[in-house]
Structure 1
Amino acid sequence: MNRTTRPRLRGLSEAQIRGFACLRCARPLADDTAVDLPRERLRLADHRFWWCPRVCRDHVEAGPAGAATLVEAPAPGP
């Protein structure tokens, strides 16, 4: 996941930022339904922090060495 595929924090709910809801579809997550994406070092104002985003299984595919890779969100339907 990189900055071009990850949604901006400004557009996410608190639940999505904290990993309680899917980063893509906002579906509530449980430990058995969540997939942890690679953590990122972010900066907000003068603070730096680690962000550990999570998604539901519908939004990932297996990457190299079994690492989770974010799948692009589908285009909105008609």
Structure 2
Amino acid sequence: MGHWKKQFQTKCIEGIKLGHKGSKGYLTGLKNTEVIEWLKNKEYWNLDELVTYVEREFGVVYKSKQSYYKLCERAKIS
């Protein structure tokens, strides 16, 4: 008998749920606001500095630079 079939027969649906919890969450509303305020208070902007700040302060690393661009857009930085 296959592993998953046996899991289902002994533990029902709970037996076949994946244990993977997914990646660490993104910035919450409050953290998002903190980043935007940080950006607004800077005299100049550097994308690498923003990436480092978000990772250091909140433990978040976006896969796409587009997410960082969106943060700048929300802070009204072009």
* TM-score band w.r.t. shorter chain: under 0.3
Q: TM-score, normalised by structure 2?
A: 0.26
Kindly indicate which of the two structures has a greater share of residues assigned to helix. Answer: 2
Kindly indicate which of the two structures has a greater share of residues assigned to strand. Answer: 1
Q: TM-score, normalised by structure 1?
A: 0.26
